[in-house]
Structure 1
Amino acid sequence: MSLEVINLVKVFDTQKAVDRISFVAPTGKITGFLGPNGAGKSTTLKIATGFIRPTSGDILVNDVSVTQDPMKVKKIVGYLPEHNPLYLEMYVKEYLDFMGKAYGMYRNSRQKRIHELLDLCGLTIEKDKKLKMLSKGYRQRVGLAQTLMSDPSVLILDEPTTGLDPNQIVEIRNVIKTIAHEKTVILSTHIMQEVEALCDKLVIIHRGKLVADDSLIHLQRKSSNQLSLSVQFDAPIDSNLFKSLNGIISFEVKSDHWLVLTLESERLRQEVLALITKHNLPLIAIKNVGGSLEEIFQKLTTEEGESSL
């Protein structure tokens, strides 16, 4: 199960909104789909959901062509828009049952699926409330449950956490992470913290063109000729041990448990690990750190930075 975009082009009159982009959103992963306003994100997502046709190219959803069989694609893609319309006078369970009927599900199947989704989306205690009585966070959970009602294999989420408070954001994140274990998930958002917290890979478009298709770590490496490592320990260590390594550009002691080292090259990462092993240091975490996603995004989507990565 995956979504594959193949040489996709969409022209409106004389404006090329999408210009020969190709990428794959794999199953079991969350793919962040980013771009400034007017980049072509919404157009691409509308094509992926079968609402508009491309000028050329195609999108395959589980090997089903959106140009050849758009109705079948609509059955296997779940789409949660930024402003999800809900029938506020309906009760939560009643609304999900209504949506199940709209999908053509039989009663027993609907009831079983509703029970699963109430549990998955944390709605069990709210099931007998009217939608108008719910907070925005719970309404968004209902939107997710509605999108999942037909058990789609591909899920497209457009700004799913906009307007939520910090606690609600964490709750929705956890639901999305759970969903992503078995599905292909595409997350379109302007909130970079959400992308960093949730996404396994990033696809960035600018002026209709693909400018990045990679993991955040790899993009961070490409954005800088240097490599920074965050190294954390379970007990205080002698940070002077690391000063003996050649090729360390900078050395920052965050605490007696935590160092940030800037290295000349990736090769030195192995020397850092060898030194930790040699002295039997109580390592608990070592990870690459780099430029923020905001910095990378700006480099890729401004005229000055279009060819910088």
Structure 2
Amino acid sequence: MTQLIQVEQLYRYYGTHCAVNNVSFTLEKGEILGFLGPNGAGKSSTMQMICGNLAPTSGQILINGIDLLDNPKEAKRELGYLPELPPVYRELTVDEYLGYCAKLHGVPRDKQRSALAQAKERCGLTEVGERLIGNLSKGYQQRVGIAQAILHTPAVIILDEPTVGLDPIQIREIRELIRELGKEHGIILSTHILPEVQESCTQVQIIHKGRLVLNDSIEGLEQQMRASSLVLETRAVPDLQRLTYVDGVQKIDDLGDRRYRIFHDKDKNPAERIAELVVSAGYGLLALSPERRSMEEIFIDITTHTPIVEEPTP
């Protein structure tokens, strides 16, 4: 796999406050990275440093193998960026605006026409080239914003809250577009919308108080969402003491109405043995199902219970 972004030991201080604390990660071609964090976590500072708009206090950023600090112009040519508010000019047509952006991106004159046609086709804008941007729906304006970010075929596309304010149909369309773009590029998707990450991304990263507290694949996140607990429902009141003796069971909470939450070791699932015991003892097995934690619960758990060690000012 081709590494498109390499971030090594990134720090950013504002006075004595460490906003970004020893952050390191990579992004490869074909990966869509969901970048999450509560307000004030250092997410915006990290994104600004990757885009070259903010200098790090220390650390290294390589964009498609080019050092962003040593060769900023060359590195930035490998980036496409869509801010939270798309930088579109409402009084221009789609073609006029994208033509202007092509010049800003340094697309050669003889390649501008084909670059515009390709970007419009990929973003579903072929039929609206002559329409004023101000007369387009917010979803289409967002597509125009994405089109300007990919005109120069960058290696990396950075999208900041790309579906905020869209209706459900528009959100679905933009998510599909992001997944399609992810096949040819590396994408960083900065968002506060947790389901967005599950729907669109292959990787997930959570930053909290300047540190990366989670860096995992979506498959790994799904694994974390499978909570280490079962919910048991019986016809008669069972002997909970007997159930706690089952290998792997940690504790049992009585939820009332003959419903019980059974906590167990992560690497041991005692469901089969519990079912056998409940049936053989005549308690009347009505239901036994694994619980799942939502992504929101994982996010809150990580950002409220992860201890942070303060770094001294360099």
TM-score for both structures, normalised by structure 1: 0.78
CA contact (8 A) 1:155 1:185 kept: yes
* Superposition deviation, residue 266 in structure 1: 5.4
Partner secondary structure for residue 158 of structure 2:
strand
Could you say if the C-alpha distance between residues 73 and 139 of structure 1 is closer, same or farther in structure 2, counting changes exceeding 3 Å? same
SS in 2 for 1:79: strand
Match of 1:145 among 132, 144, 147: 147
Quote how far apart the aligned CAs of 1:207 are: 0.7
Deviation at 1:295, TM superposition (A): 0.7
| Structure 2 contact 33–202 (Cα < 8 Å) conserved | yes
Is the CA contact 2:61–2:68 (under 8 Å) kept in the aligned structure 1? yes
Q: What secondary structure is seen at the aligned counterpart in 2 of 1:51?
A: coil
Shift in Å, 1:62:
1.3
Q: Deviations over 1:155-204 (max 9, x none)?
A: 11000000000000011111111110011100000001111101111111
Could you tell me which of 122, 125, 129 is aligned with 2:124? 122
Q: Does the 8 Å CA contact 2:23/2:211 hold for their aligned counterparts?
A: yes
Tell me how far 1:265 sits from its aligned partner: 5.4
The TM-score with structure 2 as length reference comes to 0.76
Identical aligned residues as a percent: 41
RMSD (CA atoms) = 2.5
Residue in structure 2 matched with residue 12 of structure 1 by the alignment: 14
Partner of 2:161: 159
Aligned length: 260
Q: Give yes or no for contact 1:227–1:266 (8 Å, CA) kept in 2.
A: no
Correspondent of 2:94 among 73, 92, 96 = 92
CA distance in 2, matches of 1:160, 1:114: 21
Determine if contact 2:226/2:291 at 8 Å carries over to the other structure. no
- The amino acid of 1:177's aligned partner reads R
Aligned partner of 2:26 among 8, 24, 27: 24
For 1:172 and 1:289, the matched residues in 2 are separated by 31
Q: Deviations over 1:92-134 (max 9, x none)?
A: 0111111112222233311101111111101111111000000
State yes or no: 1:55 paired with 2:48.
no
Tell me how far 1:221 sits from its aligned partner: 3.5
Which runs of structure 1 show a deviation greater than 6 angstroms over 4 or more consecutive aligned residues?
Answer: 246-249
Higher alpha-carbon Rg: 2
Summarize the Cα distance change of 1:290–1:247 in structure 2 as closer, same or farther, 3 Å threshold: farther
| Counterpart-to-counterpart distance in 1, 2:153 and 2:135 | 26
Aligned to 1:306: 306
Structure 2 unaligned residues grouped into runs of 5+: 231-245, 250-262, 273-289, 309-314
1:180-259 equivalent positions in 2, closer than 5 A: 180-222=182-224, 226=228
User: Letter of the aligned partner of 1:217 in structure 2?
Assistant: E
Q: Is the deviation greater in 101-110 or in 112-121?
A: 101-110
